[in-house]
Each structure stands twice: as C-alpha cells, then as structure tokens.
A and B are shown apart, each in its own frame.
Chain A
Amino acid sequence: MDHLDQLEAQSIYIFREAFGRLKKIALLWSLGKDSNVMIWLARKAFFGRLPFPALHVDTGKKFPEMYRFRDHYGKEWDLDLRVEPCPPIDAVDPTLPPAARSAARKTEGLKMALAKYGFDGLIAGIRRDEEATRAKERVFSPRGLEGNWDVRDQPPEFWDHFNASPPQGAHLRIHPILHWTESDIWAYTKRENIPIIPLYLSQNGKRYRSLGDQDITNPVASNASTIDEILIELEQTKVPERSGRALDHETEDAFERLRVAGYL
C-alpha cells in the first residue's frame, strides 16, 4: 500500500462516516483540482455514485473553461448538481479589503444555500498545506448557527472518531482531503486519470496553481505543461500555492477573518 493508497483509504473512511452519521449532506464543488479529486474519492467510497448533491456556489465570475467543465462532467458523472447564486457585492461586509470582500460573497451564497436546503453537513475540499488557518482545522468541523468557526473551542478529535452531532440549525464542515498536499492531488489526478481544467497547465509561460474567481486569481510563472512537469515544479518551488490569490495578501488577517465568518 503506497502513500496515495493510504490517503485514498483515509478519505473514503471520512466520506463514509459523513454519509452514515449525518442526515443531509452535500459536497461543495468549486470545479478546481481538489474538489474534482474529492468527487472521484466519493465515487470510490460509494461504488461509482455520489449519493448526495454536488453544490456549486457560483459567484458568476468563474473562468469560461470552468463552466464548460462543470456542464460537461456534471452530466458525465451523473451528479445531482445544484448551482446556487451568490448575493451582489454590496450585501457583503464593507470593512473587508476589496478581494476579501469579493470572496466573501461566496460565504454569503453558502449561507443562503444552507438555509434553502437545510444541510447538516457540507463536504469541502480544503487541505492543511494550503494555508495556515486551514492547517488548524478538524476533519469534522462544527460551525455555529451563523456558519462561523470557533477556533478557540474545537472539539477533540482523535483516532478517527469524529464529532457528528451539530446543534439544531447548525452544520458541520467535513474535510475529507485535509491530509493531502498539492503534490498528492496532482500525483493522484495523474494516477487515476481524473480530468482537469486546462488552465492549470502552462500557456505562454504562465499557469494557474489555484483557481478562484477571475477578478481575484492570477496565474503564476511556470513552464509546466503536463502533470509530470507540475509535480517536478512543486518539488522545487518555494512559491506558495495561493500566491496568485489576491485576498491572501491584503492584510495579515484577511483570510482568518473570512474563515472565522464561515469561508472555506
């Protein structure tokens, strides 16, 4: 059993716990490399099916390639796809810096979708190695009634025993790939032959390492035009994955504020 097998087995275990212990769950599909791997893992866990909805909280500002990908694979993978809109920018906390404010639309859209469907669990594709506050996450992470994350009072979680009883009206975030790294995602994508959005591959010396909205994501300099080349690049690079994400660089705590308020 190699490293990828272990990661896969652990994620499947988490998926099955979430499906078995919560009443109404959905998987957040952002169309990026991580959530595509996540859908793949879920289909492994449930023998080819995704037995719950895939939720795309859509800012309307994704790249055209991403929408094409969604429409194609939503059908091919037979997903119960729910596309939910986000409120306009003026509905969002005006004290946040511009890019963070733009991203916070997603938090609001997420809250609306939660209220609409009454999910008690949301499966999200965040990873510990992406960002320092995500590194502190639990696998089953309880959220308050407002969707907020109370980092000072996270329940103990050990030996793969998860706290799966959210208070009435609140929900849990479930993180089945928290333990994966960016390199793991690519190595697994290659091994399993999971389709990807071509924006991740280099064109004219640039590629996207992380795909967000058009207005707040930038490509990084790279000549990696295949997954193999991406893997070699990641082995050598010291550029952080989210360097192309504008919101991470606005203020010291912009991202933490977003996450405490319910952002992924």
Chain B
Amino acid sequence: MNMIVTPNGTTRPQVRIVIVGHVDHGKSTLVGRLLHETGSLPDGKLDMLKAVSARRGMPFEWSFLLDALQTERDQGITIDTTQIRFRTNSRDIVLIDAPGHAEFLRNMITGASQADGAVLIIDALEGVRDQTRRHGYLLHLLGVKQVAVVVNKMDRVDFSAARFKEISDEISAHLQGLGVKPTAVIPISAREGDGVAERTDRIGWYKGPTVVEALDRLEPARPLEALALRLPVQAIYKFDDRRIVAGRIESGSLVAGDEIVIMPAGKIARIKTVESWPVTPVAGRQGAGRSVGITLDRELFLERGDIIAHANSAPRETRRLRARIFWLHDKPLAKGDQLLVRCGPKESRATVVAIEKAVDPGELSSVENKAIGRNHVGEIDISLSNPIATDPYTENPRTGRLVIEVSGRIAGGGLVLSVDAGQRALPVDIVPVESALRPDERSARYRHNGAVVWLTGLPASGKSTLAKALERRLFSNGGSPILLDGDTLRAGLNSDLGFSAADRSENIRRLAEVATHLARNGHIAIVAAVSPAREDRATARRIADTSFREIYVATPAEICEERDPKGHYKKARAGTLASFTGIGTDYERPEAAELVIDTSTRTVAEAADEIEQMLKTTGVLFDELVDLAANI
C-alpha cells in the first residue's frame, strides 16, 4: 500500500483518482468544490478566481481553478488532464482531472491510466450520454475497478429522488455489464455544495456517503508483490567492470542467489548481486515497483525487452496474440496494418491479422469488424515479427498490456487477452556451456579477435568471391576464418525457410546467431548474404554487437545482372523466379557500413586488401604479435 509519512510521524494511504464524464457535466466544478471544502486551496486562490471570473463578466466559476490555460478558460472546457492534491480524513488524494470532450479522449486515457479509482460524473438533467458510457468502458479497459458515480446538478431537477433513481439504475446496469460495480451512486450539486462534503436537507432522502466519504473509502493500488517475478530488462550498463542489468520489477520480488530464466531465449542464470548507489550491493529482497540493477553469475547475451522471471513461473513466448484495445489515431485500424507494438520495454513490428470486433463504446448498438475507428475499441489478432514474452492481463496486469505506436507516436493500447504460445511453449532449462578457453588465449594464437564480417549487396555483386578471397587471405596469415554463405546455410540449417519477408528475417537471424557464436569463440565469421532488409541487418548487428563489421558490396545493378553467374536474373526477368532481390527495388542499401566496395572498379586482391585494412583499423586484426606469456 502506498503510504505517505507526515512530518509528525503519522501515515496516510495515498490514492489516485480520476474524474471522468461527459463534457459540461461538471467535473472541474466538482474538483474546485472538493478542494474548497477540504480546505486545500492556497491563499489568494479564491480571490484570484473571483477576479478572473469578473474580468470575463461571468458568475463565479470553480472550474477556472483547474482550467489553467487561457484557451480552456475562454472556451469553458478542459483540454488536458491535470493533477491536484488534497486530503480527506484518512486519505491523501491525488486527483486527476480529465477532459470530457471526445477529441481529447487521449488525454482522458493519459489521466485515467494512472488512477486507483474513478469518479464518473453525470448531469442529472441530461442523464447518461455517449461519453459517459465511453468513459465507463475505458475505465474497465484500463483496469480501474473502483468507480464512484456522482449525479451532478441535482438543483436543476429540483433534487428529484425519482430522477436520481432513473439515472442510477441506468448507469449501474451499464457498468455492471462491463464487470464494474459502482462503489456508490451519489446525488450532488457541485455548484451549491450539496452531497460533496455535506448531506444537505435538499437531498435528505439520500442515505449513502458524500463524495468526500466515498473517496475516503477507496483503496490504494493492489500490491503486485504477490504475483510471479517479472523484471523487464530496460538497459544493460557497463560503466565500470560490472555488467549491470537494469529494470523495474513489475511484479513479484527477487533476491541475490535466485535462479532466473531470461525470456524469450530461455537462458538460465543466477542473480549474483543487486547493485545500487551510494551503497552497493544491497541485501534483502527487492519487491515490485523497485527500479533495480542486478548482476548475473555468468556472461549471457541479454537485450532490452527481455523478461527476467523465476524459472518455474516464466511468461509465455509468442509471435501471435489477441488483444482488446482502444484506438486513438485519426486513421482507423484495419486488417493488414503494420504497427509497432510495445510490451514493456520490448518492441516488435506487428501485423494486424484480424479485427474480431470493433465497437464505439459510446453507442451500444454499432458493432462491426472491418476497422477500429478513432476513439473506438475492439479486439484484434496480431502477429509479431519478433517473439515477445508476455502474460494474459488476467494473470498479470502489468505485463499483460501493450501499446501501439504509429509513426513514432502512441496511437492505441490495450490488454493481452490470450497468447498463442509459439514454437516453444514453455521455457526449457537452457544452461549455455561456456568454452573451456578464454578469448585472449584464442586471439593470441590467431592474432585477431573474433568478428562477424557481414558482406551485403545485390545478387552477383561479388560477395561470395570476395568472401572466399578473404577467407584464404586470413587463413594464410594464421587466422581462423570461417565462411558462412547464405545459400549454403539455406541448404541445411535453414531449409525450413522460404522467401517471405518473415522467413527472410528469420534466415538472417539464424545466420547472425551462428556467426556470433563463432565470433565469440575467436573466429572470424565471414557472412555472404544478400540480406536486403536494413532492419534485418540491424538485428544481426544487435546480435553480434561490437564484433559486427558490415561491408557493402556496392557493385552497380546492371553489372550484377550482366554477370548473373547463377542465372537468377534471367529467370526473374522471365518471371519464373518469385521474390528475387535485384530486379525489384527491395534492396535497402546500408547507410553506415564499415566499408563500401565496388567490385566493378577493383580487383579481388585489391578489395581483400581494403577489407584487411579495415579489420586492422577497427581492432579485429593485430599488427604485432601478442606476447602469449603476458596473458598467463
């Protein structure tokens, strides 16, 4: 429970509540009134508001308190969410005011996503409106379970108990249909003060709590420590000799000595220490909510977005999932759309495989399944280009949610309903066996460090010829080069893969994994592969990390076609070879390769010289003999 410690030593729980509802139903007025009644307004604020109202020739307006922006005051609407604090008898309340206008739904969600509870406001005269229902639905989607409903402007319906009951029944039925039970339904007049902090005579027929009393009963966020450990990797830092895996514990807890599994790879390790500052390492169990840094007992390759869990309760790895989402982007979300999905720090490109349901939560009737419009909700089936580790939200509310990005901006978000556990259903106990040799023992013998030399370029640009020349050259000098030709691997390891974009990505990933393994063991893996997609090569670079050297074999396309040693260009021109890179325009040339070579203007020997030189200047090849004894 989130407890605030006051200077005199007492503690009070802190709850965050959001006030939502249709525009003009009186949210900002209620907030102003609440602050006033609980004595939370700073000195001079009331006078300032009076002056601001007078200047505009208006009666006193509470909402000017929160609608701090000129535009908001001028138009009498709340544009963006805001936060303000006050106290009830037993709670410290962070109050989030959210705009009601449909076009500012993204701001309402921004506010409501941080709340432990909500107040849903309804105008007694107007009754339940589209936006009331929409907000009710979104609260449910955002996981806000405690909702107090206030029926405002009771003064405008002569404090009619019958009108109150009518609205109360309608909204209760709507919320319960979504699985949300209102904690109270309260008749009030925010402007006059009835029902806010006091039960006045005019609502003498009402026996339930006031707004302040209802807020006083809200519970702070549920502790997440009881759930299984989820530590998404935010970053890996190597500021000194420690290699620290940093992240925030989303659920569960950990302590040095725990055996953990790193998903999605399924690698096993033990937590060596929990590092911190200014005192390190820290002893004791670290629980959900903490931003920690841990070191592991072995050197494993980890990356941002991996999830650390305990071995017996790991999340599922998947390339396919179903989600219930809300959509905020102008352009409707449709089947086949390409997106970027974020699940914690992990991101993956994704494709919408199906829209299973789409609905405007404001109007109860319309259901369709072609596209999800702006401010609508729906259920979608998505396929991911990289496997991610996730949980259905019913099992873990923190890891079971995702956001969707379009053109670098958050466009929607939602809950993971189910995951289609991919090729590997559950983590297996993988304990990578490290080599018996140290890297420096190998580099002393070969006079080079391990590296992945990646040759990319159009078919027939001369990659394989160059790769073989380089292999011969390095071997003659006592090194340990190994050729990994794309086509050779496709004959065996990658024989299950075709030429779709996804299969090509997977082909490159496997090539990179094999090459990186060789590089880690001191060899120079020479990869010759068209690898047309920039992103796939970026993946390879990520996998091989600092050992990656990219060489762009930039032979002009017409010369490649003229050479055509395998007859591919000919077949492609004749239309008998589908998905062939070269004729089309799908080759994405590197922007920052370590070396660019045009084989139409250089001999093979000259090109090999250039590569050798590059390997020297970038620290792969040694000029001098290493003194083996110095390393012992």
Contact = CB atoms under 8 A, between A and B. Distances in A.
Contacts of A9: 248, 289-291
A44 to B, nearest CB: 5
A8 B244 CA distance: 19
A238 B242 CA distance: 48
Interface string A24-62: 000000000000000000011111110100000000000
16 contacts: A6-B289, A16-B246, A46-B239, A47-B237, A128-B82, A136-B80, A158-B410, A159-B113, A159-B413, A161-B413, A163-B410, A232-B8, A235-B7, A239-B42, A240-B42, A240-B43
B486 to A, nearest CB: 32
Contacts of A3: 2-5, 14
B85 interface: yes
Contacts of A10: 291
B277 interface: yes
Contacts of A8: 291
- Pick from B6, B14, B55 the residue with the most CB of A within 10 Å: B6
A48 B276 CA distance: 8
Given A19-B235, A161-B413, A155 B6 contact: no
B409 A238 contact: no
B403 interface: yes
A156 B70 contact: no
B410 A157 contact: yes
Contacts of B277: 43-44, 47-48
Given A3-B2, A44-B276, A133-B68, A156 B304 contact: no
Interface of A: 1-6, 8-10, 12-13, 16-17, 19-20, 43-49, 51, 128-129, 132-133, 135-136, 138, 151-152, 154-159, 161, 163, 165, 181, 187, 228, 231-232, 235, 238-240, 243, 252-253, 256
Nearest to A167: B408
B68 A132 contact: yes
A157 B248 CA distance: 18
Given A133-B69, A239-B43, A228 B410 contact: no
Top 4 nearest A-B pairs by Cβ distance?
Answer: A165-B408, A132-B68, A158-B113, A156-B106
| Interface bin, chain B | 35 or more
B42 A1 contact: no
A16 B109 CA distance: 24
A240 B47 CA distance: 14
B420 to A, nearest CB: 23
B71 A152 contact: yes
Contacts of B287: 1
B239 A47 contact: yes
B234 interface: yes
A12 B74 CA distance: 38
A167 to B, nearest CB: 8
Interface string B96-140: 000000000011011001100000000000000000000000000
B52 interface: yes
B275 interface: yes
Interface string B44-75: 11000000100100000000001011110000
B576 to A, nearest CB: 42
Nearest to A227: B7
A129 B35 CA distance: 14
A129 to B, nearest CB: 7
In this complex, the member of B6, B43, B237 whose beta carbon has the largest number of chain A beta carbons within 10 angstroms is B237
B81 interface: yes
B280 interface: yes
Contacts of B278: 43, 48
Given A136-B82, A155-B409, A47 B234 contact: no
A212 B42 CA distance: 21
A2 B42 contact: no
B310 interface: no
Given A16-B235, A128-B83, A158 B413 contact: yes
Contacts of A48: 239, 277-278
Contact of B7 (A45, A136, A228, A256): A228
Contacts of A238: 41-43
A196 B79 CA distance: 37
Contacts of B541: none
B22 interface: no
A155 B84 contact: no
B7 A158 contact: no
A13 B248 contact: yes
A45 B594 CA distance: 33
A179 to B, nearest CB: 8
A15 to B, nearest CB: 9
B33 interface: no
A4 B234 CA distance: 22
B69 A256 contact: yes
